[in-house]
Amino acid sequence: MQSIRTTCPYCGVGCGVLAAPDGRGGLGIAGDPDHPANKGRLCVKGSALGETIGHAGRLLAPRIHGREAGWDEALDLVARRFSETIAEHGPDSVGFYVSGQLLTEDYYVANKLMKGFIGSGNIDTNSRLCMASAVAGHRRAFGTDTVPGLYEDIELADTVVLVGSNLAWCHPVLYQRLAAAREARGTRVVVVDPRRTATCDIADLHLPLAPGSDSALFNLLLAEIGRKSEICADNLEGIEDAMAAARETLPSTTGLAHSQIRQFLDLWLHSDKVVTVWSQGVNQSDSGTDKVNAILNCHLASGRIGRPGMGPFSVTGQPNAMGGREVGGLANMLACHLEIENPAHREAVRAFWNAPRMAERPGLKAVDMFRAVEDGRIKALWIICTNPAATMPEADRVARAIAGCDFVVVSDIMARTDTVRLAHVALPATGWGEKDGTVTNSERRISRQRRTLAPAGRARDDWRILAEVGRRMGWPGAFGWTSPAEVFAEHAALSGIAGGLGSDFDISAHAGITQAEYDALEPFLWPQSAGRQGGRFFGDGRFHTPSGRGRMVAVTPRPPQPVGGDHPFRLNTGRVRDHWHSMTRTGLSPRLSRHLAEPFLELHPSDAARLGLAPASLAEVESPQGRAVLRVLVSDRVAPGHPFAPMHWTRETAPSGRVDALVPGTVDPVSGQPALKSAPVAIRPF
């Protein structure tokens, strides 16, 4: 059977996939050689997609209080309870918590319903846990949330610096591209990470810096750029303050030897083309936005931005974190990268949507949203395509908050997750392979996901479910689309208006897209409008700030919250190579579970010896927020005092192995992103 071109649903690399239905409900999977992101490559997760499409465990019909119900009954109930809550308590008494795995069309409809029609900013997303600090850092430096460069820059660079990124496991195909470039061109690779991860296998230099000291390292680099008089000042503002803060930074705060810092500075400054890639080790921090700006400062100051082989590069964890940003899926943004605090932007979106009740201020960010659920300010909550009872920091507290909420709707593909079991109404959603739409990868490339399989049971697409509720709440015209192509066309048309207001996000070339054109849509980079077709940003020295200049930010490095007393270890959390989030899909593949089959605690040999923990024994890990029991993996890949544990297991899959139950709800004050890599814990033999 003929292959259908689609896109992988996992990480932000956004690989093209050829899916070939076998006529018996199965799919043959191969990398798409014509997709620019992966050029035929796939990692182990992507290549196992065909093993994860069965209907075992799927939610196949709507459920109300656990009993099977019809779609009309369920949708009527959702619309009625949300309408009644809003009428009685106001628009801010409801919230949507959505996901970087939704397709852009789903996301657009959710955002339109909440911000334009319900009239609240209370829509936030698990992307808050992934890249909110990158968004905030971009906006401070560039005026907009713009990723300046392209994947090919990683292949064109002389030196690639990876900061807080285990690219080998978390963005494997991008890692393969970097490794191939290194082989072909001798690209120097620097890994900045307290852990010696698999990515270090190709590193020319590994800097195991003190946790949280990334800003200090990049401040030292900025000061050195200033000393060498390499500042390109023509188009920058804020230089003096940023340089003064940089010059005050003490090398000792990094925990690195002088020789290691010197080697890093020399490598960076002697390389004409440098790309700095960062990920969750930077973003998931209580000073994540400052860390991002410390990196951006160096690229701005040295002019290494927006040109081939040069630039700062945020790689997103999720497949459509970027698409979510584009539609305004974060509580503090509007659609098409417009600003919710800007009256002209609000009015433009209101007029375009003919919206009756436009949100006038940012809504609650993820951690605050669940605090509002806990204390009853939010009385009706709709959770879509995500599992916060397992994956939010302070997960047990979040689960209790959801359990105590007056009315909880959960849209999901699976019947049993930690969050679905708390739902008053559970709505079956179509999953990867069953739905049509678009996603945007980390280099701003929009690709189609295409339907290759029939929906499981009575599952429906998320955009359609949301639109059905919008119609039932009284807005049939505004939510009257009949296909995702029509939603995409509306989003593209709105982006043209946004482009006229100075937004970087403009795909108005697709405003009139037909169904046939949508079906045939090739992967493309935004912007795509009458005036601009893809490419890099800022190489011409023009930024999106009011002055048109790039903005350097004075960063005073702040150490993470101290550990000590009863909780002397700093627990770092993250992914393993072969699993995704809470494993609802990858857990279906025995092959993917072979790599690392159970929750574990990676502990330095000196810590293990001191605690009397032998390899493969069980350790009890306890924090003020919760408790877990984990298998001990003794390894010098982690530093003494800084163990690591993966985040994938849930109450459904390993009740005592839930790591996010240990993590506090501490957030970055600018972005609201939780500090998921820094949980103070105690460890003892179990």
Binding site for ligand SF4 (CB under 6 A): 8, 10-11, 13-15, 38, 42-43, 45-46, 171-173
- 201 vs 272, beta carbon nearer ligand SF4: 201
Q: Is 135 helix (H, G, I), strand (E, B) or coil?
A: helix
A 10 A CB-CB count for 533 gives 12
Q: Which is nearer to ligand SF4, 227 or 594 (CB)?
A: 594
Q: Quick one: 173 or 277, whose CB is closer to ligand SF4?
A: 173
110/277 with CB nearer ligand SF4: 277
Beta strand ranges found along 195-285 (DSSP E): 205-207, 236-237, 274-278
Q: How far is the CB of 528 from ligand SF4 (least distance, A)?
A: 22
| Closer residue to ligand SF4 in complex, CB, 224/578 | 578
Beta carbon nearer to ligand SF4, 172 or 431: 172
For residues 271 and 441, which CB has a smaller minimum distance to ligand SF4 in the complex?
441
Give the span between the Cα atoms of 285 and 664, in whole angstroms. 11
Residue 447 φ/ψ region, left for φ over 0, alpha for ψ in the -120 to 50 degree band, beta for the rest:
beta
Place of tokens 């700095």: 276
Give min distance, CB of 676 to ligand SF4, in A. 20
- The H-or-E segment that residue 410 falls in is strand 407-412
Cβ 206 to ligand SF4, closest distance in Å?
A: 22
The Cα 453–Cα 435 span in angstroms is 8
395 Cβ partners below 8 Å, 6+ apart?
A: 388, 389, 418, 626, 658, 660, 661, 663
Phi first, then psi: give them for residue 32, nearest 5 degrees.
-85, 110
Alpha helices per DSSP H over 455-598: 462-472, 484-500, 515-519, 590-593
Given a contact cutoff of 8 angstroms between Cβ atoms, the answer to whether 569 and 680 are in contact is yes
Query: Quick one: 154 or 372, whose CB is closer to ligand SF4?
Result: 154
Rank residues 14 and 470 by Cβ distance to ligand SF4 and give the closer one: 14
CB of 47 to ligand SF4, least distance (A): 7
- Residue with the CB atom nearest ligand SF4 in the bound state: 46
Q: Which two tokens stand for residue 472?
A: 């039932």
Using alpha carbons, list the distances in angstroms from residue 645 to 110, 184, 603, 668, 681: 33, 35, 9, 21, 12
Nearer to ligand SF4, 166 or 254 (CB): 166
Min. distance of Cβ 18 from ligand SF4 in angstroms?
A: 12
Q: How far is the CB of 299 from ligand SF4 (least distance, A)?
A: 25
How many other C-beta atoms can be found within 10 angstroms of the C-beta atom of residue 57? Answer: 15
Three-state secondary-structure class, residue 571 = strand
434 closest CA partner among 462, 454, 449, 415? 454
Distance in Å, CB of 371 to ligand SF4, minimum: 32
Pairing of strands 159-163, 188-192: parallel
Q: Are 506 and 499 in contact (CB under 8 A)?
A: yes
Nearer to ligand SF4, 315 or 366 (CB): 315
Q: Which is nearer to ligand SF4, 172 or 626 (CB)?
A: 172
384-399 burial by CB neighbour count: b if 16+ within 10 A, else e?
bbbbbbbbbbbbbbbb
Q: Tokens 């939780």 correspond to what residue?
A: 674
Contact between 4 and 16 under an 8 Å Cβ cutoff? The reply is no
For the packed helices 258-269 and 214-227, what is the interaxial angle rounded to 10 degrees? 60
Burial class (CB in 10 A: 0-12, 13-18, 19+), 56: exposed
Q: Which two tokens stand for residue 670?
A: 């600018």
Minimum separation from the CB atom of position 442 to ligand SF4 (A): 10
Q: Kindly state the tokens that stand for 449.
A: 């996901």
- Output the smallest distance, CB 38 to ligand SF4, in A: 6
Q: How far does CA 366 lie from the centroid of its chain?
A: 13
- Comparison of 89 and 575: residue with beta carbon closer to ligand SF4: 575
Angstrom CA distances, 536 to 16, 150, 445, 522, 590, stand at 21, 7, 12, 19, 41
Please, what is the minimum distance in Å from the beta carbon of residue 408 to ligand SF4?
30
At which residue do the structure tokens 């690209």 appear?
A: 187
Compute the least distance from the CB of residue 577 to ligand SF4, in Å.
10
Contact between residue 43 and residue 319 where contact means Cβ atoms under 8 Å apart: no
How would you class 365 by CB atoms within 10 Å of its CB: exposed for 0-12, middle for 13-18, buried for 19 or more?
buried
Q: Is 286 within 8 Å of 668 (Cβ atoms)? A: yes
Q: What is the closest distance, in whole angstroms, from the C-beta atom of residue 42 to ligand SF4 in the complex? A: 4
Tell me the three state secondary structure of residue 437.
strand
Question: Cβ 165 to ligand SF4, closest distance in Å?
Answer: 13
* Residue nearer to ligand SF4 on the CB measure, 38 or 391: 38
- 592, two tokens: 């993917």
Q: In the complex, what is the shortest distance from the CB of residue 434 to ligand SF4, in angstroms, rounded to a whole number?
A: 18
The least CB distance from residue 592 to ligand SF4, in Å, is 11
Question: How near is the Cβ of 520 to ligand SF4 at its closest, in Å?
Answer: 22
Provide the minimum distance between the beta carbon of 411 and ligand SF4 in the complex, in angstroms, as a whole number: 23
Nearer to ligand SF4, 11 or 632 (CB): 11
Residue 173 or 494: the one with the smaller Cβ distance to ligand SF4 is 173
38 or 146: whose CB is closer to ligand SF4? 38
State the Cα–Cα distance between residues 34 and 98, nearest whole angstrom: 31
DSSP H or E segment with residue 224: helix 214-227
**Angstrom distance (rounded) from CA 559 to CA 75:** 48
